[in-house]
Amino acid sequence: MSETSSQEETAQQPTEKKKGFLGKLKESVDEREEQLAILSTFVRLGILVWSGGILTLAYIATPPAWGIPEQKLDPTFIASVFTGVLATFGVQAAKGKNGGGGGSNGVTAAELKTLIETAAQVAPSQTIRLEHAPLTIAPTNYPKPPENP
């Protein structure tokens, strides 16, 4: 009879289900706003990892043994998603001195002149700056074009 009563006791005890991530989150945090804040952080982290992975795959060549075909995609949308999610975490792109997002490396004309003079003293060389767009450099052994009268 003792065996029967122990079986009945185990049958009467409710078995606890294994709780998933959301169940544990509800149990550990009481306020609904805090639960949603934690959940939204995990969603943003998931999107950040996804977009970072896609961006990485856009710029590297995968080994042929993996069997992943090379994808030709424009990564600008994924990059905008990536920077947008980073911005929600407080990470922002660096701004230049003048407030622009890029363009200048922060070297003034006077600093550039000083750098060129210092470089000329250390290792004399010639710097050529071309401001003419179409330029053709050809050997001199070509025949001269005929002159127009």
Residue 65 makes CB contacts below 8 A (sequence gap 6+) with none
- Asked if residue 130 is part of any domain, the answer here is no
Domain of 56 in residue numbering reads as: 19-92
- Asked if residue 114 is part of any domain, the answer here is no
Across the range 85-96, mean pLDDT stands at 79
- Asked if residue 31 is part of any domain, the answer here is yes
- Asked if residue 6 is part of any domain, the answer here is no
Which residue, among 89, 92, 80, 78, has the nearest Cα to 45 in the 3D structure? Answer: 89
Residue 116 makes CB contacts below 8 A (sequence gap 6+) with 127
Distance CA(133)–CA(47), nearest Å, equals 43
Number of domain units in the chain: 1
Q: Per residue in 101-138, pLDDT tens?
A: 455 567 788 888 888 788 777 766 666 676 766 767 76
Q: Per residue in 30-84, pLDDT tens?
A: 777 888 888 888 999 999 999 998 888 888 877 888 887 777 788 889 999 999 9
- Asked if residue 76 is part of any domain, the answer here is yes
Distance CA(54)–CA(78), nearest Å, equals 7
- Asked if residue 33 is part of any domain, the answer here is yes
The tokens for 4 are 């029967």
CB 97 within 8 A of CB 106: yes
* DSSP-based three-state secondary structure for 29: coil
- Asked if residue 110 is part of any domain, the answer here is no
- Look at residue 45 in the predicted model and tell me its pLDDT: 93
Distance CA(72)–CA(59), nearest Å, equals 10
CB 111 within 8 A of CB 117: no
- Asked if residue 59 is part of any domain, the answer here is yes
